Structure 1
Amino acid sequence: MRILDIREQTFPISSPIRNAFIDFSRMNLSLVAVVTDVVREGRPVVGYGFNSNGRYGQGSMMRERFIPRVLETEPEELIDSSGENLDPAAIWSAMMRNEKPGGHGERSVAVGTIDMAVWDAVAKIAEKPLYQLLAERYGQGTPDREVFVYAAGGYYYPGQDLKALQDEMRGYLDRGYSVVKKKIGGADLDTDRRRIDAVLDVLGPGQRLAVDANGRFDRETALRYAEALSDYDLFWYEEPGDPLDFELQAAVAEVYRGPLATGENLFSMQDSRNLIRYGGMRRDRDWLQFDCALSYGLVEYLRTLEMLRENDWSPGRCVPHGGHQMSLNIAAGLGLGGNESYPDLFQPFGGFPDGVQVQDSRIVMPELPGIGFEGKSDLFTHMAGLVA
């Protein structure tokens, strides 16, 4: 058993939208294929992965450092103790060979993307959905196939008026979502309040709105927004300030009694632990958005979950950023609180396998081997092209 090749291709996911910090007019991502010599149903097993939106493709870094290290490692060193499958932790260690501690930035995206493809291959070799494999290895044995999802949107579009924003949100509600999210911080507070009021006007009983500042605010502005947002019953107030400004996060938590959410731009267990130690996050209401595809992959994410348990945090407080099927599998297999979803944006990489429906902001995981990419036809067309 061995990895024959690891291939990367950069794909555009550009869109004329912006949040409070960046626009997506030149956004792209890396798509990776891990090709093995294991054969299932007459075909080699191939694992696939890609990085979440908001961070660019990392092809150069992968090709220069991480892919060669894996391919240069003796194959028997990358096999688990059963001798019947690949060992994701050993492959992760091979990728990180000769890397110094710290430096948790774009490197974590490159490793996390390859790691996703490795786990897809591992579950396919085991002939199981990844969520089932995770539940058996690291969870309670039985996965919870029903997963909470919310619709992320509400970006700033050129020329978008309040009616267009309302129409966008109605579209998510009509598709079965009961929790929707919109951006703030890309306009002044008065404009953002009008946008919030417009969305709340279209929500019905049991439907909730979350808002996301994408780390835009300084301390004074974050606190001013916290005061204004306290007038609403929001699902959460997300990432008010710089993701590493734990003092700012703690200051907001002191004055904003509603739920806060952050963590999507923390790229290691160590950074996540510092948030728990110093960010003033509250176990009873706040949400953690660590995204494995951006933070060294599931191998590191398992360390993060263990750190949370040691600090009396439930994995149910984790609702990862990214809107991808990898986090859906982790949520179902390891008891996370749910996952972000992009019903319309960043296609074909966002969304669910064909036929999966949302009902009351929950989906039922399909019985597909691996992560389940083969079940999303528009996405798998691109993936299959890497090994054609």
Structure 2
Amino acid sequence: MRIVEVRERTFPIASPIRNAVVDFSQMTLSLAAVITDEVRDGRPVVGFGFNSNGRYGQGSLMRERFVPRLTDADPDSLLDDSGLIDPHAAWATMMANEKPGGHGERSVAVGVLDMALWDLRAKLEERPLYDVIAQRHGDGQADRRVFVYAAGGYYHPGKGDQALQDELKSYLDRGYTHVKMKIGGASLAEDCRRIESALAVLGPGQRLMVDANGRFDADEATAYLKALESYDLHWYEEPVDPLDYEGTRAVAGQRTRVPLATGENLFSHWDALNLGRYGGLDPQRDYLQFDCALSYGLVEYLRTLEVLRPLGWEPSRFIPHGGHQMSLNIAAGLGLGGNESYPDLFQPFGGFPDGVQVQDGHVTMPELPGIGFEGKSDLAAVCASLLD
């Protein structure tokens, strides 16, 4: 078999919302299709991939560097002994002639294509990706029941406390037990009032996370943490710039009852290892949120898990950012702690296949081949448009 074509297109996921650092009025993403000469049921087998929100479309990088390396390669060099596409070999081909370091936008472009290649591989095996991952890189048995939390609570023009409460309550009514909101885009006093409004709609067993999106320096983040200490929060996310390991250490050193979560804006296993070495985080209480779609894909994510395990980080402390089904499959296949979810935002790329319901804060993965994009009708239609 061989890859005959790779197509990509930029799609808008714009919204009037904002967090403490960016607004999403111009947000885009890239959708890619890896098309092969393998035919099943009269159609070529195609793998799809896209990047998470918070980064923009990566079409030029894919067109100029990474796609040509795939399509110009000796087809046999991209296959394993079974004669099927090998995502690890394809990853090495895409990253040929790339210098170490410089993990910026290229990590997103490669992450999109890596996702499509893993989707392709599982479809060629006619199995769900989580089964493929569990067999190849896990303990052989996937856990189809995955914890998910609802991310929202953005700043929005004209949105007051009542609207925030209504939004979070709608997530709880849909079966979520954990919800997340943004902070750092208003004064501390205003954010505390918003947090108290959010907590007021939570019932027994329901928890709130807050996310500053790297807005603060260490002193500001610590001042917020002292105020947050009076609330029963599940975590305090990205208090400082993701590469400010000393700042992270300073906040973590307060050792309050509020756990920390970070990592979504680190894009390589070396960055992750430096966070583990120098960030002062506690593997027994804090959380890591690396997002494969933004950080070179599953091939690199496996390295991240490997280098952090000797520092005490078990897969259960990883809860990826992004709210996409690729991370859901990784969570099920490798026993991660769960996955972020966007019930209403960034559609049709967020959410779950049709008919999948959240129950007691968990979803059960359906038995669909590949990642499962075709099981989400609105997303399947967008993917199909790339083949027209």
TM class by shorter-chain length?
Answer: over 0.9
Q: Which amino acid in the other structure matches residue 49 of structure 2?
A: G
Q: Separation in 2 of the partners of 1:303 and 1:37?
A: 31
Query: Residue in 2 aligned with 1:372?
Result: 372
Q: Summarize deviations over 1:271-322 as a string: whole Å, max 9, x none.
A: 0000000001101110000000000000101111111223221001000000
Q: Which amino acid in the other structure matches residue 218 of structure 1?
A: D
Q: Separation in 2 of the partners of 1:212 and 1:370?
A: 32
Indicate yes or no: 2:361 matched with 1:361.
yes
C-alpha contact 1:353 1:373 (8 A) present in aligned 2: yes
Query: Residue in 1 aligned with 2:195?
Result: 196
Q: Separation in 1 of the partners of 2:40 and 2:249?
A: 51
Indicate yes or no: 2:105 matched with 1:103.
no
Indicate yes or no: 2:32 matched with 1:32.
yes
Identity of aligned residues (%): 70
Q: Summarize deviations over 1:321-361 as a string: whole Å, max 9, x none.
A: 00000000000000100000000000000100000000111
Q: Separation in 2 of the partners of 1:311 and 1:86?
A: 33
Residue 247 of structure 1 aligns to a residue whose secondary structure is helix
Q: Which amino acid in the other structure matches residue 386 of structure 1?
A: L
Residue 165 of structure 1 aligns to a residue whose secondary structure is helix
Q: Which amino acid in the other structure matches residue 336 of structure 2?
A: L
CA offset at residue 387 of structure 1?
Answer: 1.1
Q: Separation in 1 of the partners of 2:363 and 2:311?
A: 30
Query: Residue in 2 aligned with 1:7?
Result: 7
Query: Residue in 2 aligned with 1:17?
Result: 17
Query: Residue in 1 aligned with 2:351?
Result: 351
Residue 53 of structure 1 aligns to a residue whose secondary structure is coil
Q: Which amino acid in the other structure matches residue 161 of structure 2?
A: L
Query: Residue in 2 aligned with 1:148?
Result: 147
Q: Separation in 1 of the partners of 2:159 and 2:110?
A: 37
Q: Summarize deviations over 1:131-174 as a string: whole Å, max 9, x none.
A: 00111111111100000000000000001110000000110000
1:199-210 map, 5 Å? 199-210=198-209
Query: Residue in 1 aligned with 2:215?
Result: 216
Q: Separation in 2 of the partners of 1:309 and 1:127?
A: 31
Q: Which amino acid in the other structure matches residue 347 of structure 2?
A: Q
Q: Separation in 1 of the partners of 2:227 and 2:255?
A: 10
Query: Residue in 2 aligned with 1:246?
Result: 245
Query: Residue in 1 aligned with 2:56?
Result: 56
1:105-184 map, 5 Å? 105-184=104-183
Q: Separation in 2 of the partners of 1:305 and 1:41?
A: 37
The normalised TM-score by structure 2 is 0.99
C-alpha contact 1:230 1:256 (8 A) present in aligned 2: no
C-alpha contact 1:320 1:340 (8 A) present in aligned 2: yes
For structure 1, the residue ranges without an aligned partner over 5 or more in a row are none
Residue 139 of structure 2 aligns to a residue whose secondary structure is coil
Q: Which amino acid in the other structure matches residue 26 of structure 2?
A: R
Q: Separation in 1 of the partners of 2:234 and 2:288?
A: 13
For structure 2, the residue ranges without an aligned partner over 5 or more in a row are none
1:303-322 map, 5 Å? 303-322=303-322
Q: Which amino acid in the other structure matches residue 63 of structure 2?
A: R
CA offset at residue 210 of structure 1?
Answer: 0.1
Q: Separation in 1 of the partners of 2:286 and 2:43?
A: 45
Residue 202 of structure 1 aligns to a residue whose secondary structure is coil
Residue 166 of structure 2 aligns to a residue whose secondary structure is helix
Residue 271 of structure 1 aligns to a residue whose secondary structure is helix
Q: Separation in 1 of the partners of 2:23 and 2:9?
A: 22
C-alpha contact 1:226 1:256 (8 A) present in aligned 2: no
Query: Residue in 1 aligned with 2:88?
Result: 89
Q: Separation in 1 of the partners of 2:189 and 2:341?
A: 28
Q: Separation in 2 of the partners of 1:176 and 1:235?
A: 17
CA offset at residue 81 of structure 1?
Answer: 2.0
Residue 46 of structure 2 aligns to a residue whose secondary structure is strand
Query: How many positions carry a matched residue from both structures?
Result: 387
Q: Summarize deviations over 1:233-273 as a string: whole Å, max 9, x none.
A: 10100000000000110111111422100000000000000
Residue 203 of structure 2 aligns to a residue whose secondary structure is coil
Q: Summarize deviations over 1:61-88 as a string: whole Å, max 9, x none.
A: 10000000111100000001222x1011
- Bigger CA drift: 306-315 or 347-356? 306-315
Question: What value does the CA root-mean-square deviation take over the aligned residues?
Answer: 0.6
Q: Which amino acid in the other structure matches residue 98 of structure 1?
A: N
CA offset at residue 97 of structure 1?
Answer: 1.1
Residue 180 of structure 2 aligns to a residue whose secondary structure is strand
Q: Separation in 2 of the partners of 1:46 and 1:28?
A: 22
Q: Separation in 1 of the partners of 2:109 and 2:211?
A: 25
Residue 54 of structure 1 aligns to a residue whose secondary structure is coil
Q: Separation in 2 of the partners of 1:150 and 1:306?
A: 25
Q: Separation in 1 of the partners of 2:219 and 2:311?
A: 30
Query: Residue in 2 aligned with 1:325?
Result: 325
Query: Residue in 1 aligned with 2:229?
Result: 230
Q: Separation in 2 of the partners of 1:128 and 1:268?
A: 28
CA offset at residue 222 of structure 1?
Answer: 0.4
C-alpha contact 1:16 1:157 (8 A) present in aligned 2: yes
